[in-house]
Amino acid sequence: MDERKVGALSFRLDLSQPIYEQILEQMSGAVVRGEIALGEKIPSVREMAQALKVTPNTVMHAYQEMERNGLTETRRGQGTFITTSQTRVEEFKADLATRLVDEFLTKMRDLGYSLEDVRLRLTHGSTANAAPSGVGTDNAPPSGVGTDVEDDTKVEKGGASR
């Protein structure tokens, strides 16, 4: 990973992944964490591209996505600014969290883990059973842990079970 600074912002770029997605993800993360203040002017496309050693089109693509997500606004003749709407930032953060949880649960389901298996792994980390339900392990939960989900219940997108 290559780390590059642009003003107060620091970017870690993995050249094996799409750069615009990394710029988008890292800037969006900085906004929701409050590392970039509401209403703050961000570097111009040209400044960002030069500092990151990427093409202006790459930065423009990331900036356009941020604007579509409601995280930035372009003011003609002044530049691009982070939104002044805390509500919009909170909505974006909640949407992002939901999307990440859905992706995580889908991947765990694809590995054969039930919702209860996932809950145990999240609660007990590496001390939880390593194999998913029904893969030759004793799936009895640690003492004191309730079992309100059947072992054969598979995780569905959005956390629902079937």
User: Cα-flanking dihedrals φ and ψ of residue 61, to 5°?
Assistant: -60, -45
- Going from the C-alpha of 87 to that of each of 20, 42, 75, 137, the distances in angstroms are 25, 20, 20, 46
Give pLDDT, residue 137. Answer: 47
Give the model confidence (pLDDT) of 90-133 as tens digits. 999 999 999 999 999 999 999 999 999 999 999 987 665 566 66
Q: What pLDDT shows up at residue 27?
A: 95
From the CB of residue 33, how many other CB atoms can be counted at a distance below 10 Å? Answer: 10
Average pLDDT, the chain: 83
User: What distance in Å separates the CA atoms of residue 146 and residue 142, rounded to the nearest whole number?
Assistant: 9
Summarised one tens digit per residue, pLDDT across range 66-92 is 999 999 999 999 999 999 999 999 999
This prediction's pTM: 0.68
**Cα separation, 37 vs 95, whole angstroms:** 20
Out of 3.30.420.10, 3.40.30.10, 1.10.10.10, 3.40.50.1470, select the CATH number for domain 2-84. 1.10.10.10
Break the chain into its structural domains and give their ranges.
Answer: 2-84, 87-159
Instruction: Report the alpha-carbon distance of residue 73 to residue 64 in Å, rounded.
Output: 9
